[in-house]
Structure formats: structure tokens, C-alpha cells
Structure 1
Amino acid sequence: MARQNLAIRTVIFSMLGNAALAVIKFFSGFFGNSFALIADAIESVVDVFASILVLIGIRYAARPADDNHPYGHGKAEPLITFLVVGFLIVSAATIAYQAVQNILTPHPSPKSWTLWVLGAIILWKEISFQLVNNRSKKLKSSSLKAEAWHHRSDAITSVAAFIGILIAIFGGEGFEVADDYAALIAVAFILYNCYNIFRPALGEVMDEDNHEELTETIRRIASQVQGVNGTEKCYIRKAGMKYHVDLHANVDGNLTVREGHDIAHQLQDTLKREIPELGHVLIHIEPFEIS
């Protein structure tokens, strides 16, 4: 529950920050003649809706296992991540379309004071990225990782807008569309980040086992449990913030069924105690002949 509450607080932090920035960016872009800032505002609005989806996903994924979902509801997290990626792609397409329209339509250069606004936004978004990304690693949450990369993509679009406005201001006549081209460059970064968010979530849905470090930790802990003479197969599946494990453990083949059963439970309890992020742990006992 503590892990879920931390994740929820992190998403609410992102949501409130994006809502405030959307307002600041829109009015700064409108009064400062900068479509790059307005494009940034559009992305921030999309991020607010994406954060709501992430919040719903985290709450649903944290529901306990039931008869229909014996492994819990953790798979809801990567599914929500797919929706978030969809939101990002739609926002990128919207920004690209409007940028092209602006390039084809003459308009005045952006105001110089918009650079100060963008500088503050870039700093805030990078701080937000570091905070949310660190928590996503701590909680092993794919949806929080997507949330973090929203902040990073927002920072990148703001950097592109800053450069575009700088060129438009100092370039003078003929360079008014520089910030519109900057918006197009930002779109490319957003789409690249979409792939970075989508790929791990797809691996989670497909039960991709690429958890080498966790596997080594499980084997090390198992070797310290009395009665366990080593481990064989170790399969790991990630679902939300939990890892489900199937582990084959070697025990003395001369033990009784009851003794092997007790060792299996001791191993299971030890793993769950030492690694809190483990969910369902299935122990299969393999007879081992001790010479």
C-alpha cells in the first residue's frame, strides 16, 4: 500500500504541474507570438489527461488478486502505458500539423521575454523528470516511467522552442518561422520517446524475461536457505510493480514429501521477505542426490 500511495502522489504531482504549465505556456505563446510555446501547451494538456490515465491504471493494478485474476491486476499498468503513448502520438501529430500551417502563413517574430519563460520551464521539467524517473525505478513501474518521459519530452520541446525563438529574434526578418521549425524538431523527439516508452511495456505484456540482476539475487538468497542445494530454472514475469517468479530448487532426494514441502515454503517466505517487490512465487522441488 505504501508503494501504491507513493506512486499516486507522484502522478498527482505531475498532473498539477502540467496543468499549471499548460496555462503559463498558452498565454505566454499567445501574447508572445510563439507557436512553439503554444505547441508546448498542447503537449502539457495532453500530459494532464495522460496522468489521469496513469492514476487510474496504478489504482486498478494495485487491486489484490481474486478468483478471476490469481496473479493480481498488474498487467493494467502496461496497457495504460499503451494509451499514454497513443496520447503522445496524437499530440505530436497535432503539433506537426499546426506548425506546418504556421510556416505557410506569415506571422510576426516571438517576443524576447518568452525566452525567460522557457528557461524556467526547462529547469522545472528536468527537475520533474529526475524526481518521477527515480521513483519509477524505485517502484519498478512502467506507467511511472512513461510519466517521467512525458516530463523529459516536454523539456526537449521547450529546448527546441528556446532555440527556435532565439534564432527568430536575432535572425530578424525572414527568420520568423524558426520557432515553428523548432516545433517540428520537437515532434521528432516526442515520437522517439514514444518508442522508448512503448518497448518496455510491450515486453511486460509479452512476459519478456530480461531480469538478469533479479534472477541472480533470487539464486543468491535461495542458496542461503537451509536444505536448498542450488537452483535450476528461474522464470520471472513482471506485472505492474510486482514480479512473479517460478523457481526450481534442488533438495536432498532422500527427504520425505513433508520435509521437501516445508523447505519450499521456507524458501518462498524468505524470498518474499528479502525482495518486497515479488508477487506470486511458485517453488518446484527437484530431487538432488547428495554423494
Structure 2
Amino acid sequence: MPKPWTLILLGALIIWKEISFRKVMKKAIEINSSSLKADAWHHRSDAITSVAAFIGISIALLAGKGYENADDWAALFASGFILYNSYKIFRPALGEIMDEHLYDDLVEIIRNESKNVSGIIDTEKCFIRKAGMRYHVELHAIVDGDISVRKGHDLAHRLQDTLHSQIPELGNIFIHIEPYT
């Protein structure tokens, strides 16, 4: 039979791990870090598996003889949660590595900000990749097809400067100028 004092330790651990999850997740969202989000979910996973152990040990202690393996069943449940949590952590990271199109909201913001720049008629393609804490952008901007190369070049730089000032989390911005026809 498990010892009753293990419930006290598990209770303290559950509270500590849930507090850790909330603090780390808050910071992860604040700085948009997928690695910190993964670490936060690791804390949550520890808390949930500890809850499962708490329940299993409680059943074993309260029900008595014949229920000693309740803790084993709780561990089996916890292992299933660990597998689910592994997928939840791994899937977004895999999407970033494979350049999966994950940033529709940011694309919309970039397109709207681009149209506010005088001389930019519209945008075409917009590709975003995340590296570290920054988003790198490749954007096709549509401009008047009759302007000079110099004016198109200046528009591209003005657009880059505007996007950097309006969306600080952007890193490199590659602008391709397309003529409006």
C-alpha cells in the first residue's frame, strides 16, 4: 500500500507545477516563444500526471485491500496524457520547421499596413517564416507600372520601414515590386 504522506507531497507538487505553468505560459505568450510554451506545457503535464497519481493513491488508501493497483491504473492514464501532450508540444514546432503556413492573422495585418503606404496599390504574395522570436517576410507589393526603378526602390524601403515600425516582431522583410497593369 502507498504511504499517506505521499498525498501531501503530491498536493504541494500539483500546486507548484500549476503555478509554474501559468507563469511560464504568460511569459511565452508575451514574447511569442514556442519553446517557452513547450516548457509551460511540460509543467502542466507534470501537474496532471501528479493529479492522476494523487487520485490513484487516494483510491488505494480509501478503498483498502484489493485496490493497491489503483495507483498503477492512474500511471497508465498519466502515460496516455504524456503521449497526448508530446503531440501537442511537437506539432506546432514541426509546423514552424517545415514552413507550414501558420500565420494568416499576421499576413492580414501586413497586407493592411502595406496598403496604408502611399504608392502601394495592393499586395500579392506574402510568405512568413518564423526563426527564433522574429517573423521573416517575403512580400510582393503592387505599384504603378509606369514609375521609375528608383521610385519603386524607394517605395520598397518606405514599406519596409513602415512594417518594421508598425509590427516590431518582424525581422527581415524582402519586398518584391510588381507593376500594376
Q: TM-score range by the shorter chain?
A: over 0.9
Q: 1:130 maps to which residue?
A: 22
The answer to which structure has the higher helix fraction is 1
Instruction: Return the offset for 1:134.
Output: 2.2
Question: Unaligned regions of 5+ residues in structure 2, if any?
Answer: none
Q: Secondary structure at the match of 2:139?
A: strand
Normalised by the length of structure 1, the TM-score is 0.60
Which amino acid is 2:84 matched to?
Answer: Y
Does 2:133 match 1:241? yes
- Correspondence for 1:121: 13
Verify: 1:264 aligned to 2:162, yes or no: no
CA displacement 1:234-284 (0-9 Å, x = unmatched) = 111112211111101111112111111011001111111211211111001
Secondary structure of the residue that 2:3 maps to in structure 1? coil
Report the counterpart of residue 217 of structure 1 in structure 2.
109
**1:79-98 superposed matches below 5 A:** none
Does 1:273 pair with 2:162? Answer: no
Q: How does 1:49-128 map to 2 (within 5 A)?
A: 109-128=1-20
The count of aligned residue pairs is 181
Match of 1:190 among 82, 85, 89: 82
Residue 253 of structure 1 corresponds to 145
User: 2:90 corresponds to which letter in structure 1?
Assistant: F
Letter in 2 for 1:287: P
Match of 1:227 in 2: 119
For 1:206, the aligned partner's letter is M
Distance 2:72 2:43 in 1: 21
Q: Does 1:286 align with 2:175?
A: no
Percentage of identical aligned residues: 64
Following superposition, the deviation at residue 156 of structure 1 comes to: 0.8
**Which is bigger in relative contact order (C-alpha 8 A, separation at least 6)?**
1
In 1: Cα distance, 2:22 partner to 2:33 partner: 15
Counterpart of 2:64 (choices 164, 172, 181) is 172
Name the aligned partner's letter for residue 233 of structure 1: K
Q: Provide structure 1 residue ranges, at least 5 long, that are not aligned to the other structure.
A: 1-108
Deviation, structure 1 residue 231: 0.7
Q: Secondary structure at the match of 1:152?
A: helix
Give the AA of the match of 1:229.
Answer: I
The 2-side partners of 1:226 and 1:122 are apart by 55
